[in-house]
Amino acid sequence: MNAPAPKPPSYLKAWLTSQTNLMTLLGGGFASVIASFPAGAAGLIGGLVLVGAAQVLAALVVPDMPSFRSKVDRRARRGAIDQRRSQLQREIFQIHGGFERVAGMGMWLKYRAIVERAEVLYRIAGEAQSQLSYDDAERVDKASVDYLALWLAKVTIEQRIRSGEEATLDRRLREAERALAEVEQDDPRYRHLKMARDDYAAVKLRHDKLIARRMSIEAALVSLPDQVEEIYQMVVASPYSSTLGSKLGESLARLQLEEDIELELSQNDLDSEYLSAGSAGSRERAAQRAQQNARRQDARDRSATGS
The 10s digit of each residue's pLDDT in 56-82 is 777 777 777 777 777 877 888 888 899
Residues of the chain with pLDDT > 70, as a percent, come to 70
Give CA–CA dist 250/261, Å, rounded: 19
Q: Is the pLDDT of residue 103 over 80?
A: yes
pLDDT at 3: 44
306 domain-assigned? no
Are both 96 and 243 inside the same structural domain?
yes
What's the whole-number average pLDDT of the chain?
Answer: 77
Q: Name the pLDDT band for 1 (thresholds 50, 70, 90).
A: very low
pLDDT at 35: 61
* Most confident residue range from 11-20, 121-130, 210-219: 121-130
Are both 38 and 103 inside the same structural domain?
no
Q: Is the pLDDT of residue 248 over 70?
A: yes
Nearest residue to 25 (alpha-carbon basis) of 46, 62, 52, 45: 52
Are both 34 and 136 inside the same structural domain?
no
Q: Point out the domain boundary residue: 64, 85, 107.
A: 64
Q: Point out the domain boundary residue: 36, 64, 92.
A: 64
Are both 53 and 82 inside the same structural domain?
no
Query: With contact defined as beta carbons under 8 Å apart, do 263 and 282 qualify?
Result: yes
How many Cβ atoms from other residues are within 10 Å of residue 262's Cβ?
Answer: 22
304 domain-assigned? no
Query: With contact defined as beta carbons under 8 Å apart, do 152 and 274 qualify?
Result: yes
Residues of the chain with pLDDT > 90, as a percent, come to 16
Angle at 196 between CA 194 and CA 201, to 5 degrees: 95
Higher pLDDT, 168 or 151: 151
Domain of residue 29 covers 7-64
Are both 58 and 89 inside the same structural domain?
no
Q: pTM for the full model?
A: 0.68
56 domain-assigned? yes
164 domain-assigned? yes
pLDDT at 256: 63
Are both 59 and 82 inside the same structural domain?
no
Q: Is the pLDDT of residue 273 over 80?
A: no
178 domain-assigned? yes
Query: With contact defined as beta carbons under 8 Å apart, do 295 and 240 qualify?
Result: no
Are both 141 and 251 inside the same structural domain?
yes
Are both 122 and 178 inside the same structural domain?
yes
Cα 27 from chain centre: 40
289 domain-assigned? yes
Nearest residue to 244 (alpha-carbon basis) of 114, 84, 169, 132: 132
Give CA–CA dist 93/88, Å, rounded: 9
Are both 141 and 60 inside the same structural domain?
no
Are both 170 and 285 inside the same structural domain?
yes
Secondary structure tally for the chain: helices H, strands E: 12, 0
Which ranges of 165-272 does DSSP label H, i.e. alpha helix?
166-181, 188-237, 244-253, 258-265
pLDDT at 282: 44
End-to-end alpha-carbon separation of the chain, Å?
43
pLDDT (mean) for 111-135: 91
Give CA–CA dist 10/64, Å, rounded: 11
pLDDT (mean) for 170-179: 84
Q: Point out the domain boundary residue: 64, 86, 109.
A: 64
242 domain-assigned? yes
- For the chain, the domain total comes to 2
How many Cβ atoms from other residues are within 10 Å of residue 114's Cβ?
Answer: 23
Are both 241 and 145 inside the same structural domain?
yes
Q: Is the pLDDT of residue 285 over 50?
A: no
Q: Give me the sign of the Cα torsion angle 158, 163, 164, 167.
A: positive
How many residues in total does the chain contain?
307
108 domain-assigned? yes
Are both 22 and 165 inside the same structural domain?
no
